[in-house]
Structure 1
């Protein structure tokens, strides 16, 4: 049984658009670019840091607001957040969704429900998607798989991540026009280098005959010269010419872009995907990682949080503070000096000992989830130091 039949059970594959109508729009569909940039090594290097970082986010179900915020450990939701389906973990799911978002500027995941409860979430690498409406003006998506099969599902049952969300009301703008010239430059640059290497391995000779010969005689002389001196069997490594002609070697003069031009093209691609050489080569420092996280990772985490919250909870449940957040320990890339300085936050009760130990990549300790405070710190009221222990004794 294929993945399509596993998700939709075959029953939904026969659903047609007879009961639907197309959205009144000049462009109500999305189709990924036929130019497969995923096959380029530089593009993969640009996307990999994002997919790896997003894959390490930790989803949590949060409930309440203000002083009553707590982590809800409801088993059914916890299981889906850990293993969205039987084929992948949440890390795999998030990485795949980010790759689809970066490549196509649109990423889709289908919510499989059973008795109004979420049973599984499946990322859908569609070849085309189209917006349709029913007679009640409810929005649906018609999703085509690469096998040619399609399904029509309510838009509210689809997690949709977008990038460069500008011209269309629903879909993110594709990057065909933005990347076409740049990818052509990079591809042609690679091809020119390859061809130069191939041509450089070929020894080209010009035979200048001193007298006029018939074409068939020229051919005989040329074949004899090649067989005697240009074959791999020639172990002497030297050649002797006939007095009737002069042999002149022609040096290849293939055009190869210089290193500066090649570097500029790569930097343009880095800039397009929001990375730099340090991020791609994994030799960034604390400040570089923080900048990358805030500009590229955090927006995707917020987008994931909003999308998951909307499909997991009703409007009423969201009103009670139910939401899905994606946590990341951005401090795991901090310097040792910064991590050690966080000990001051533990002394003041802003961090629990176990939260600090997690930043240090250490295991939890017994009683480490309780906040502690140094004895020489206490709340201040009216500009005066208040000793909480003394107040309790007087009462």
Structure 2
């Protein structure tokens, strides 16, 4: 991070000296986090898997509900900070979490010590240290800059959390698969190179010394393999037993490639249909429930806890990241849901238009509900209290 961004995020907090010792955790280890697996993101299949998840996560809609801290809420409606949109924030946060299994969110603090936003950071290391009566997070970045801030004001999202009480596990479990991915790519590259070359072996007569053989090898290469050879190899009569050597490079079998890709998909909780944008309807709903929804729930809870006090949360103030899952249905499914929800007065016209990615109707016209005339509203004793036509018109 540049000095300007660093100071804008942490303000005067970064200069605080923390030397009171490490904070004790239940796992018995020094509470520290080190980034690992940056090379993981350099793999094409891994990057594609992470990109697909982060892209869908970036489409979550972030809203703040409740009466607390209206100044902060106004800022958050405009975006998480002055440098990112909510989509960019969620994409990077999700990417960091997928690669590192631990993602840190820090509050953006103004000159008065007030939280005015939040930012996803990628430190090279993080330690939990004791300062006074509270634990603090001390970040060290690749630039060498360090910053510390109260743990209660930060957000920590984790995946594969097991040994550490605070942080997620590393990606060493994926190492065997990544080794296979590397070998697979090398095998394909070698197969292409070997398939484009020709090799010959021949017996050369009337050469009595090693020096003569070297000279003949250079002469042959110069006259046949350099310049305008015309694609024809000319062998002198001193060459006998000329044979072409056919290389048979290792080529990864289709089932082997599929198994390697499946290992990557299983590890990151995605599939080929999601990567190639073919998932919709029930298939996308399954991906949403297994991957995007857990991310949105964890982010909502972590962000709410870091931004609002316990009293404010008890009063109903919270931050939520949600998605309109109906938009990912097929057109036939959308039409069926729209008709059924409208007929029963469950959705108004604007809500139905949202399913079809249409804007709301002007002047509040879309807030009206429509109910089919043959429906009746029954009282608790089973008697008819309102007919469908009366419900639509508002008659009693």
Same fold (TM over 0.5): yes
Aligned mates of 1:41, 1:209 — CA distance in 2: 47
Aligned mates of 1:247, 1:34 — CA distance in 2: 51
CA offsets 1:240-294 (integer angstroms, 9 cap, x no match): 4414533322222322322221221111101111111110011123121111011
TM-score, normalised to structure 1, is: 0.89
Where in structure 2 are the equivalents of 1:20-59 lying within 5 Å? Answer: 20-24=21-25, 25-59=28-62
Match of 2:115 among 115, 118, 137: 118
Matched, 1:82 2:69: no
Partner residue of 1:8? 10
1:340 Cα offset (Å): 1.3
Aligned residue-pair number: 383
Aligned mates of 2:239, 2:80 — CA distance in 1: 80
Aligned mates of 1:135, 1:79 — CA distance in 2: 31
With over 3 angstroms needed to count, the CA separation of the structure-2 counterparts of 1:334 and 1:383, relative to structure 1, is: same
1:119 Cα offset (Å): 0.8
Kindly report the root-mean-square deviation, in angstroms, between the aligned alpha carbons of the 2 structures: 2.5
Aligned mates of 1:218, 1:20 — CA distance in 2: 72
Contact kept in structure 2, 1:81 and 1:90, CA below 8 Å: no
Partner residue of 1:242? 237
Partner residue of 2:311? 316
Matched, 1:384 2:386: no
Partner residue of 1:130? 127
Partner residue of 1:306? 301
Partner residue of 2:143? 147
Where in structure 2 are the equivalents of 1:283-294 lying within 5 Å? Answer: 283-294=278-289
1:117 Cα offset (Å): 4.7
Contact kept in structure 1, 2:124 and 2:141, CA below 8 Å: yes
With over 3 angstroms needed to count, the CA separation of the structure-2 counterparts of 1:349 and 1:276, relative to structure 1, is: same
With over 3 angstroms needed to count, the CA separation of the structure-2 counterparts of 1:244 and 1:267, relative to structure 1, is: closer
1:372 Cα offset (Å): 3.6
| SS at structure 2 position matched to 1:386 | strand
Deviates more, 1:105-114 or 1:145-154: 105-114
CA offsets 1:56-108 (integer angstroms, 9 cap, x no match): 111112239xxxxxxx9946413224321111111111111000000001111
Contact kept in structure 2, 1:211 and 1:244, CA below 8 Å: no
Contact kept in structure 1, 2:22 and 2:30, CA below 8 Å: no
Aligned mates of 2:369, 2:184 — CA distance in 1: 59
Aligned mates of 1:296, 1:168 — CA distance in 2: 22
With over 3 angstroms needed to count, the CA separation of the structure-2 counterparts of 1:73 and 1:171, relative to structure 1, is: closer
Deviates more, 1:288-297 or 1:278-287: 278-287
Contact kept in structure 2, 1:61 and 1:73, CA below 8 Å: no
Aligned mates of 1:19, 1:197 — CA distance in 2: 59
TM-score, normalised to structure 2, is: 0.89
With over 3 angstroms needed to count, the CA separation of the structure-2 counterparts of 1:59 and 1:236, relative to structure 1, is: closer
1:34 Cα offset (Å): 4.7
Which structure 1 residue ranges, 5 or more long, are not aligned? 65-71
